[in-house]
Structure formats: C-alpha cells, structure tokens
Structure 1
C-alpha cells in the first residue's frame, strides 16, 4: 500500500464524521484535493463545512488542501394555488398545503405571489422579518414549520399599498420564484385571485407542474373558479383538483352543522368539469384564530388540520405520478 493511499484513507477517516458522505478525496504527493457536495446547503453552512474540512484534512504529510464545491441541480416543480375570486381562503389553503406536504416528506418552499394582497407573513408567523439577498438572489425566510417562504409582504413596509402596474408585478414574481431555494424541490405558489398579469407571467415564464383551485360552495365563486380552470386548461397545465373551502359550519354550542355558503357545489363542479375533487375544508373558527396568530392548523395534530392533510395527501400522490 502506498503512502498516498494511506494518506487518503487517513483523510477519509477524519472527514467521515464531518462531511457525512459529501466529500471525495484524492491525494497527489503532499496535496489533498477534496470534492465537496454542497447540494441543499445554505451559503453559511457551506462555508463552515469547508473550513472544518480544510482543518481536518491537514494531517502530517499533507502540505496543501484544495477544496472544490459541487452541487446537483434541483429539479424544482411549482404547484400553483389559484382561485377565480378573492375571499375564498386561497392563502390559508396554500400555507397549510405547503406545511402538510413538508410533513409528508416533501422539501417544500412557499411563494406568496399574491403581489397586491400578501398575507403569508402573518399566516406563517414571520411578520416584520425581511429577507436578504446573496449573489443577487433573495434568500427565503426560515419558518417554524420547516417551509422556507418569500412574500412581497417582506419586501415592502407593513401596511404600504403596492400600486404596481403589470410589468412590475411580473418582475416581482420572478424575483420570488428565482430565489435561492436550496434543497426545496416543490414550490407552492399562492397566486392572486383572478386571471391577470401575474398568472400569465407565471404560466409563460415559470410553467407550473399543476394547479390547485380553491372555491367556496356558492354558485358565484364556482363561476369564477371555472374561469381559472379554463385558463390553466388553455395553457396546457394540469389541474390537480378543486378544494371546497368554508364547507359547513358546526355550531360550537349545539354541534348542529349548517351550510351558509351552500354544500357540495365544488365537488359537483369538479365532476362536471372532469377534474379531481381534493376535499373539503370546514368553516371553523379554530382555523381562523390559529391563522391569525401565525400557527397554521396543518402544523399540529388537531382535528382542524386533518382536512388539510387529506388534501395534501392527494396532491402528494399526484406529484408521485409525475416525471421529474
């Protein structure tokens, strides 16, 4: 066995507990060349790991340590969460869907693409925090739920009106989507209501893998939801399914269930349009109060999060059937 082989084995031994399988070692003379796989690591963690590896590899007989970083390309898929009109709970569904997918094992990021009415900072408990940029790319905010997030709400002053024309809004969407998402392989996009400039930019430039449509059971909301479905269909983007939100209200005193927004309309519309029905989210004050304090129900194990987990399970199953 040569000295170089011994040196390589010695370096590999000291790096094993540090690099966790990320380092490949080559030794030539007194030089150690190390290929370091930094896939999914933020910049700070990459720098710290390289520093530790350089120090550990400087064993007797090694005069020079060279480290080259490499990263695998993450094949990232976008899931658009859309609605034909506002006020149907699309943002609440987006936040809880992202969290439930992460709990199911997906590496998920959340984009608050509702440029004019960003609400994800409040829903995800990161109000007042501002993202930073590195190498001209935004770095998503970490949240308590394992879902990194970016929102226009983090780029403007709280309460400030965002009075932007189409091109400016479209440019903002691109900054959010093209950020440094690290290992996240699935981005949930909370889109503005309707079928305007942001939706068209997203379809043309970022090409989501599929769309989830949110509607209440009432007829007016379903008419607008049908328009949103038509937009994606014309663009050749699969509609993963429809979520019926605010479906049924259980009185906290007597337990009687009423249907202030109607019942079963979204499921019937899904059948008529030939798209899957993903499930119902009840009109529950516990969901509203938890959302207001930045504690999405999907992050817990209560009954309020079960409906979101069911929807996420169907979206997760759909993702598993897709290539890439």
Structure 2
C-alpha cells in the first residue's frame, strides 16, 4: 500500500537539500514558505534573497529532484520568490540639527476621481496590453476613462490605441489628451517622434511624469472616473514620482507564471506595500497557450505561478489571460482585443477584472 502524499513527507525530502547560503538544510533555514499538494501535483515556494538567485536556482533543481522521488508524486514545481528585506533605519539626526523638510503631500488631479496604477517588476509581461484592455473594459462598463503612459523611455500606448496624433493645447496652455475608442490618452509617444530615443536622467523623467499628470486637461468634458497609469517596469523614478505627486487609489500587478517574473512582481508588491498603496489584485498574463490546430493546451511559461504567489501574499486574483497571438495582433493594429472581439473569452476576462476593480474602488457610472 502506497504511503499517502503529505506535506510532512515533502518537507522531510526538502530537509535533505543543503542551503549553500546558510550551511543548513532548506527547511531549517526557513526558506520554505509553503507546500501545496493537489492530486499528486506538488508546488513548493522558496523565499530567497534575490542576490542569491544564481545559487538558489540550482538548489531549486535539487529540491525538485528530491520531491519527485516520493511515491504518489505526479509533478513537482519549485517557485523561487524574493523575500522582503527589513526596512533600513533612518540615521539619527545630530543634536541641534534641523531635519530636512518633508515632501509635499500628493495632490488630487482636477477632474480625476480615481487613479489606478498598472505595474510589474519586469518588462515584457504584457503590462501595457493589460492597461489598455482594462481601460477599455472600464469604458464598456459605463465609466469615463483615461490612460496615462508613464513609460518615458518606451511608450507604447499610442500605437496600441491607434492614437498616434499630436495633442492640441487648451487656451490656458494645458495638454489636451488624445481620444481614441472613447478614452482619453496621453504619452511621451504623443510628444516625441516615434523613432527618436528619449535619453534623459532621473530628474528629467520625474519632471516629465509630473507634467503628464498635472499639465493635462483631464477635467475637460466632465473629467474622468478612472485614470489608468501604465507604469514602466521596475521600482524607480517614474513609480516614486507618481505616488509622491498624486494620491493613487490602487495598484494592479501583472506577471507571467515563470519564477523570475514572480521575483520581480514581488518587488513591485513590496514597493506598494511600503508606501501604503493598496494592491487591488494580480493578473497572470500569458498563462497558457491553446493550439489553434489541435486544441491542445501548453504551459509555455509555466502555469499558476502568479496565482500561487498572489495567494501566498493574500493578494486577490483578478484573472488569468492566455497567450494568444490575437492579443498581440490586435494591439499592433491599434484595435485592442476588448474592442476587436468583445464576445471572446479574453475580452470577458478583462471585463471581469473591470467589475472587480469598480467594486473595490466603489466607483460607478455617473448615471447610476
């Protein structure tokens, strides 16, 4: 009779693998954050210091091999996620010294009811695609919506929305957003030629973000209910400039299932957590690919990793979006999937995300 597959057996197997960072085994060193078992499929999450990623990837392979030897195991998935370091203490002020002035508190934008940041720690995970389709889904639910492309170096929103024209200016010299598919949009891509590189240092990036936020006529034609901000990858100047300039009502994290993307998504979560901004949920993008010829499903980038990471942190799951060439193709044509195929399963996934976010933000169309 086969022994039942239990978490204790999995942890015992993991206890035979050495952690090269601490010198002990991976269990006693405290990096095993969770063990999940379902129908013989085992998922283990190891919380590591991102600086030790190279060494710990080999440890992950050893853990996978050890667990795979257990009877009753059908598959093993080892996910490496980055733990949050303790915040550094601020140095004490010398006696009699005058502390520096605190930065001004974020100020609301005229004509904007709610601000949602769409973020990822890593590039290439479909964040801009998520921003555009989520904005259009909110529009379909009856809201007035705008998109701000905060990726100064690689703006893509104008092309995705088919809105590449240059904006006009109001009589008081504010930028008038470009309107496409019924939503307002502004981007450095509207202000700088498409083939020209933006070679700016940090202070110039901060100034550009502040100008795109405060120098735009969001309040024209009755303003907007939700401003979706498409942030660049990482946790740098653009992100900090946004949260220090305006009050952000919530953040949406986007990740693909593979482990390295999850480490970066974890950093994005930690950033919002440290600055007190609520994370509304996580979107797992490119979760599966269904072959159009044979109908078989393939986990090209793994599957469920972002879901497991979100559950570990208590983050809501907003949805899983498959890897589908139609999403890329429609985005290239300036006709996002929510507009091009509103009845498709993918469009319905974005609409479901919009419903969740509207409930979380307590925002509804003005006529309701």
TM-score by length of 1: 0.74
* 1:316 pairs with 2:358: yes
Alignment pair present for 1:150 and 2:223:
no
Which of the numbers 328, 334, 337 marks the counterpart of 1:297?
337
**2:239 equivalent to 1:199:** yes
Aligned residue number for residue 176 of structure 2: 139
Report the Cα offset of residue 113 of structure 1: 0.7
Q: Deviations over 1:43-62 (max 9, x none)?
A: xxxxxxxxxxxxxxxxxxxx
**Cα distance in structure 1, aligned partners of 2:212 and 2:333:** 24
Q: Tell me which residue corresponds to 1:166.
A: 202
Residue 136 of structure 1, CA deviation: 2.4
- Which of 103, 109, 112 aligns to 2:140? It is 103
Structure 2 unmatched ranges of 5 or more: 1-109
Structure 1 portions without partners, runs of 5+: 1-72
Alpha-carbon distance in structure 2 between the residues aligned to 1:75 and 1:252: 42
Q: Specify the alignment match of 2:251 in structure 1.
A: 211
Question: Is 2:296 aligned against 1:260?
Answer: no
Secondary structure class of the residue paired with 1:139:
coil
Counterpart-to-counterpart distance in 1, 2:154 and 2:247: 22
Q: CA RMSD in A?
A: 1.4
Contact 1:138 1:175 in 2 (8 A): no
| Length, aligned pairs only | 248
Question: Could you tell me how far apart the structure 2 residues matched to 1:164 and 1:151 are?
Answer: 16
Q: Distance in 2 between matches of 1:150 and 1:320?
A: 25
Q: Counterpart of 1:169 in 2: which secondary structure?
A: helix
Offset of 1:321 from its aligned partner? Answer: 7.2
Q: Please state whether the residue corresponding to 1:187 is helix, strand or coil.
A: strand
Residue pair 1:137, 1:175 contacting (<8 A) in 2 also: no
Q: How much does 1:185 deviate?
A: 2.3
| Aligned: 1:281 with 2:321 | yes
CA distance in 1, matches of 2:161, 2:352: 20
Alignment partners' CA distance in 2, 1:157 and 1:308: 31
Give distance in 2, aligned partners of 1:77 and 1:280: 24
Which residue in the other structure is 1:85 paired with? 122
Q: How far did residue 313 of structure 1 move?
A: 1.6
TM-score by length of 2: 0.66
